[in-house]
Structure 1
Amino acid sequence: MIRNLWGPQDVADYLGVPVGTVYQWRSRGGGPPGRRVGKHVRYKPDEVERWFEDLPGEVI
């Protein structure tokens, strides 16, 4: 089953960062992979979660 796609605000809420940070990541070529759908950017939740899990660093 396909989950609903996320918008930038959904990604920001999931990661606990300001939505502006998500836009900055995208404009700088970083952050989770997103795709343009018309004039909107959409993210697959599984890819955002995978991107987060693959970040370097220690787990607290």
Structure 2
Amino acid sequence: MAPESPMGTKQAANYLGLSKSTVEKLRHFGGGPRYLKLGHLVRYRPADLDEWMTERLIGSTSEKPATAGSD
């Protein structure tokens, strides 16, 4: 089975349930999913979007989200 094709910002935003502008801001300011830069095109791999969402899973309201670099 071939891996899923990378998608543009609009498709990635739909996949994540976010607005296109939110995904663009995350890319610009940091904290968003990994992406590919192919010339002037920005592409997101579904596996990277899934990984980014998984990193944000919270088990209860008393848990704090993990921050980058915390162990």
Per the normalisation by structure 2, the TM-score is 0.74
Shift of 1:35: 1.3
Rg bigger for which structure? Answer: 2
2:46 alignment partner AA: P
Map 1:1-60 to 2 at 5 A.
1-58=2-59
Gaps of 5+ in 2: 61-71
Q: Runs (4+) of structure 1 moved beyond 6 Å?
A: none
Higher helix share: 1
Percent of residue pairs bearing the same amino acid type: 31
Higher relative CO (Cα under 8 Å, sequence separation at least 6) belongs to 1
Q: How many residues align?
A: 59
Gaps of 5+ in 1: none
Following the alignment from structure 1 to structure 2, what is the Cα–Cα distance between the partners of residues 43 and 12?
10
